[in-house]
Amino acid sequence: MLLFLEQCLNGLQLGLLLFLLAAGLTLIFGIMDLVNLAHGSFYMIGAYFAATFTALTGNFIVGVVLALAATLLVGMAVEVIAMRRLYGRDHLDHVLGTFGLILFFNELVRLIWGPAGMNVPLPAWLNTHFQILPGVEYPTYRIAIILVTLLVALFLYVLVMRTRIGMLIRAGATNREMVGALGININLLYTLVFGLGAALAGLAGLMQAPILTVQIGMGENILIVAFVVIIIGGIGSIRGAFIAAILVGLIDTVGRGFLPDILRLILSPRGASAIAPAMSSMLIYLLMAAVLVVRPEGLFPVSNK
Amino acid sequence: MNGLLTRRNIVVAALLIFLAVLPVYAAISGNPFLITLFTRILILAMAAASLNLIMGYGGMVSFGHAIYIGIGGYVVGILAQEGFPSGFVQWPAALIVSALFALVIGALCLRTRGVYFIMITLAFAQLLYYVAVGLDRYGGDDGLTIYARSQFAGLINLSSKTQFYYVCLVLLFGVIFLIWRLINSRFGMVIQGSRTNDRRMQAIGFPTFRYRLACFVISGTICGLSGALLANHTEFVSPAMMHWTRSGDLIVMVVLGGMGSPFGPLIGAVALLVFEEMLPFVIKLLGTPLFGEAAAHASEYWQIIMGPLLLLVVLFARGGINGLLAKGRA
Amino acid sequence: MSEPLLQVSHLAKRFEGIVATDDLVLNVAAGELHAVIGPNGAGKTTLIAQLSGQLIPDSGNIHFAGDDITTLPMYRRSALGLARSFQITSLFLDLSVLDNVALAVQAHAGHSFRFWRNARAEPDLRQPARALLARVGLAERAELSAAALSHGEHRQLELAMALAGSPRMLLLDEPMAGLGPEESARMVEMLRALKRELTILLVEHDMEAVFALADRITVLVYGRVIATGVPADIRANRDVREAYLGEAETEDAGHG
């Protein structure tokens, strides 16, 4: 059962990273009513920046902080240059425009960094194991990821529940006049929120970078999973995103780990190994379909949307 | 009749005539590659037309439409592999299977609208993509080769480039015509009304869900047909056919051509694919005298223009090419 | 009175702590024009939403012509003869005026799984549509795009669409909203003519129109009925004067 515990922790870690992505998406959608398909591009950019800056400075932490800052800046630049013109438009326009951004970023990254993937090596002090329980060892880095994302989740909680900006998010304010009436500079607010969303995605990307390969198009695959999280959790709800993210992360990881064994109980070994890989990928989508049948608005829908 | 001789109609008519005589032109100019390129254009135009039905007229933005291309293609491929080479079996099967998938997926997805709908169709596309990757028996990720095109008992020989081209052309025109009739029928009015104001439609007395679902199924079926054609064309099917970025391509074609117009999808398919073929070539041609090697190099990254171009179309030319042609008719 | 056409019994609806409808009781007799008035936020639109099926009440029930329609979906109520117009113009703006009404007619003309015949060429749809447009005074505007109409003409179109399918009862949500004095007078005349043919529940702010047309009036405050009766009684009712008519009198003086 040690394996099970390890899988659960991996699932938690994946779930928390998904939460970072889903939270960013939900924030941007909640405040600006903007559907951002290119959110995954920030995930990718964060990872690529991390690869470059850690290599340049030779220091993992410095590299990571620089990467985060760079992603934030890119996010804000994208908002000013492109996103501004999309506000208030049809959601289809958002989808099309941001799809164009995905194409652009994928090509730009290919131009700058080349088509081959990149690696981010872990520094020695992170590349260790930590004993969380007697006899149970877990990679230190993964624990670090869990801690960092929990901190960020806490920060987001405080932001949403205790600040004026958070009040706007909770009210689902897409009304510019109402925002303006509160004495807030709308343009600045939108730029910052978008930048924050991008930074969250970038953070997820750069944290994953040492574990997975950094490659073009990595953003889109995980973005779709983030969408599944939002569908299950309910759009506009950060709490829903958190719970759904953990759920999806656990089901995906633990499912992948144990599905082959479970299938072997029912089917022949050959049959099990034939369909296990495909079925593991499908689990979270099946969950999504189930939620859709029972509660199309998601598990924790925000009722005023 | 002055009303008919608009700039737009003339362009469209010219395009149709060009398509009709293309194989002749290709034979004369010794350029058989043109037939291959334009067959692909016709097939994708059919897929785009099916998407235009639900998206342009019905307001249902599906980011997972390419899965029906995959479904149609895989039905043909699987049947071919399992010893059913007859087109009379393969093609109806492709249509029926596509319709069934569209029925189930539509029943689940159409309970949502707007942003949700877009995300859900994307997620289902990903799900089916993984199913295809898991089909070990049929090649999985590597895909499945089709050794012989659909057989039609000697009535028509799809292995002949020209014959196959004309089959695609006739089918495409048939689809465009059928969709045009559909849109102007009672059913079409319900679909259009539901796009504009679904709540009002229900208040008036229409159970809109069943009509939108029927429309979704019709659209999926047509797209499945295009998949069967594509499988014949490339003699190969793989999960890549239904990757969500292919769905994005279809959306681009529909918007670029002109959403909600009968010939928009065809115009969009021609524009996009010709653009994709020509642009690197043009960059190299024009750039080399000026920039030498760099131009050849740059032409490899032509795709970097696609993204911003799409954004510009969305911002400034929302009606697509059809819209640009129709404007300024005064 | 004999069995009322519309019976609303102890209806209640809340939204996240706000009580929109509070133990509401309302009866509308066949053939009467029953007005519902109340200050802003009284829950009038919420009431119409529940009557038309857009919202499902938390408790209580609604009977129409003897049938319990409390949880019936929107599109079924129309078939039973209960039609509605919208407060905020809710038309098909990218279709022509005639197309808009023809769609409303189509909803009552059998199923729409007809895929081939051009709906715009069907006399069964177009003729009744033209007749309805003539009735509300929009006959010459038939071929225009709905978006090209003035606000007042939009309200007329709203009415025409609600009348398609010969409903037994109309739920009118502020048909006068945003109309100038001439247009208002015209709308009042039209409603007066309609009164003779069908039952009407009229939600309105325009007090002149209400007192000119209503057979009976119900006053709503914070989702609750505070008075029901003939216009004379309502005018004299002290609670009503305090809660509402005082407000309306200063309003009236302004816009008369």
Predicted pLDDT of residue C249: 53
Cβ contacts of residue B106 below 8 Å, gap of 6+? B212, B213, B216, B217, B220
Q: Kindly report the length of chain C.
A: 256
Q: Chain B, 75-114: which have a CB under 8 Å from a chain A CB?
A: 108-109, 111-112, 114
DSSP E strand stretches across C174-252: 199-203, 216-221, 224-229
Torsion, Cα of B220, B223, B229, B233 (10° steps): -130
End-to-end alpha carbon distance in chain C: 36
Compute the distance between CA of residue B284 and CA of residue C94 in angstroms, rounded to an integer. Answer: 45
Token look-up 């050794």 returns B147
Taking CB atoms and an 8 Å limit, are B115 and A277 in contact across chains?
no
> Which of A92, A100, A227 has the CB atom closest to B310's CB atom?
A100
Would you place residue A172 in the very low, low, confident or very high pLDDT band (cuts 50, 70, 90)?
low
Residue B184 has its nearest CB partner, among C94, C120, C161, at C120
Chain C residues with CB-CB distance to B181 below 8 A: 115-116, 118
Angle formed by the axes of helices B244-257 and B33-52, nearest 10°: 90
Q: Does C124 lie in the same domain as C70?
A: no
Query: Hey, what are A56's tokens?
Result: 């340049």
Amino acid at B131: V
Interface contact B174, partner C, CB < 8 A:
no
Residues C209 and C108 in one domain: no
C75 and C175, same domain (yes or no): yes
Alpha helical stretches, state H, A171-268: 176-181, 186-208, 218-233, 238-266
Flag whether B261 is in a domain: yes
Chain B contact probe: residue of A96, A108, A223, A229 with most B CBs at under 10 A: A96
| Tokens matching residue C54 | 């857009």
Same domain for C253 and C136: no
- Could you tell me the CATH number of the domain that includes residue C29? 3.40.50.300
Secondary structure letter of residue C171 according to DSSP? E
- Which domain CATH number covers B216? 1.10.3470
Q: Which two tokens stand for residue A49?
A: 């920046």
Does B120 sit within 8 Å of A292, measured CB to CB?
yes
Q: Give the integer Cα–Cα distance in Å for C174 and B209.
A: 29
Strands (E) across C52-132 are located at 59-64, 67-68, 82-85
Mean pLDDT, chain B, whole residue set? 89
Cβ distance B251 to A235 less than 8 Å, yes or no, reads no
Q: Measuring CA to CA, which residue among C159, C167, C163 is closest to residue C186?
A: C159
Can you read off the two tokens belonging to residue C50? 């529940």
Query: Residue B232, SS3?
Result: helix
Coil/strand/helix, residue A132:
strand
User: With 50 as the cut, is the pLDDT of residue C218 above it?
Assistant: yes
Cβ contacts of B177 on chain C, cutoff 8 Å: none
Nearest CB partner across the interface for B185, out of C52, C73, C116: C116
How many domains are contained in chain B? 1
Largest CA distance in chain C: 62
**C56 and C30, same structural domain?**
yes
Residue range C138-165: average pLDDT?
91
Phi and psi for B146 in degrees, rounded to 5? -110, 115
In tens, the pLDDT along A252-285 reads 888 888 887 887 777 777 767 767 777 777 888 8
Residues C96 and C154 in one domain: yes
Q: Which residues of B touch A219 (CB under 8 A)?
A: none
3-state helix, strand, coil in chain C (%, to 5): 45, 25, 35
Same domain, C100 and C183: no
User: Do A145 and A207 form a contact (C-beta atoms < 8 A)?
Assistant: yes
Domain positions in chain A: 2-216
Return the residue matching tokens 């479970």: A262
- pLDDT digits over C154-191, tens only? 999 999 999 998 999 999 999 988 888 888 999 999 99
Do both C240 and C179 map to the same domain? Answer: yes
Say which amino acid occupies A284: I
pLDDT band at B43 (very low <50, low <70, confident <90, very high): very high
- C72 to chain B, any CB pair closer than 8 A? The answer is no
- Percent of chain A clearing pLDDT 90 (strictly above): 28
Selected for mutation to probe chain B from C50, C52, C103 (highest B CB count within 10 Å) is C103
Of B119, B130, B310, nearest to A99 by CB-CB distance is: B310
DSSP A74-127: HHHHHHHHTGGGGTTS-HHHHHHHHHHHHHHHHHHHHHHH-SS-B--PPPTTTS
Measured from the Cβ of residue A163, the count of other Cβ atoms closer than 10 Å reads 11
- Measured CA to CA, the distance from residue C203 to residue C209 in angstroms comes to 11
Confidence of residue B309 (pLDDT cuts 50, 70, 90): confident
Residue B50: pLDDT band by 50, 70, 90 thresholds?
A: very high
Q: Which of A217-226, A275-284, C1-10, C24-33 has the lowest mean pLDDT?
A: A275-284
Domain span at residue B228? 7-326
Task: Give the total number of structural domains in chain C.
Answer: 2
Q: Chains meeting A at 3+ CB pairs closer than 8 A?
A: B
User: What pLDDT, on a 0 to 100 scale, did the predictor assign at position B166?
Assistant: 95
- What's at B126, amino acid-wise? Q
Residue B224, in any domain of the structure: yes
Asked if the Cβ–Cβ distance from B127 to A99 is below 8 Å, we say no
Rounded distance between C-alpha atoms, residue B165 and residue A24, angstroms:
48
Taking one residue from A and the other from B, the number of pairs with CB-CB distance under 8 angstroms is: 115
CA angle A175, A179, A183 (to 5 degrees): 160
HSE (side-chain half, CA atoms, 13 Å) at B236: 9
Other C-beta atoms closer than 10 Å to the C-beta of B24 total 10
> Does residue B1 lie within any of the structural domains?
no
Residues of A in contact with B130 (CB under 8 A): 278, 281-282, 285
pLDDT at A204: 94
Nearest CA in chain B to A86: B315
CB A189, CB A179: distance < 8 Å: yes
Which residue in A108, A112, A98 sits closest to A220, CA to CA?
A98
C86 found inside a domain: no
Helices A39-57, A91-113: crossing angle, 10 deg rounding: 20
CA distance B130 to chain A (A): 6
> CB contact, 8 Å: B202 with chain C?
yes
Closest chain C C-alpha to B189 CA, distance in angstroms? 7
Q: Which residue of B184, B204, B214 is in closest CB contact with C119?
A: B184
Same domain, C186 and C226: yes
**Residue range B163-189, pLDDT digits in tens:** 999 999 999 999 999 999 999 999 999
pLDDT band at B194 (very low <50, low <70, confident <90, very high): very high
CA atoms within 13 A on the CB side of B70: 30
Q: Output the pLDDT for position A176.
A: 58
Domain around C103: 91-166
Tell me, yes or no, if B116 comes closer than 8 A to chain A by beta carbon.
yes
φ/ψ of C230, rounded to 5, equals -75, 160
Other CB atoms within 10 A of residue B49 CB: 31
C-alpha A88/C-alpha C110 separation (Å) is 39
Are residues C133 and C18 part of one domain?
no
Question: From the list B61, B123, B252, which residue is nearest A92 (CB)?
Answer: B61
Asked if residues C90 and B200 have their Cβ atoms less than 8 Å apart, the reply is: yes
Q: Does the pLDDT at position A131 exceed 50?
A: yes
pLDDT band at residue A49, thresholds of 50, 70 and 90? Answer: very high
Q: Pairing state of beta strands B236-237 and C6-15?
A: unpaired
- Mind telling me how many Å the CA of B260 is from chain C's nearest CA? 12
Q: Do B311 and A82 touch (CB under 8 A)?
A: yes
- Tell me: do C247 and C138 sit in the same domain: no
Whether residue C55 is found in the same domain as residue C70: yes
Question: Is B2 among the domain residues?
Answer: no
Residue C246 has pLDDT above 70, yes or no: no
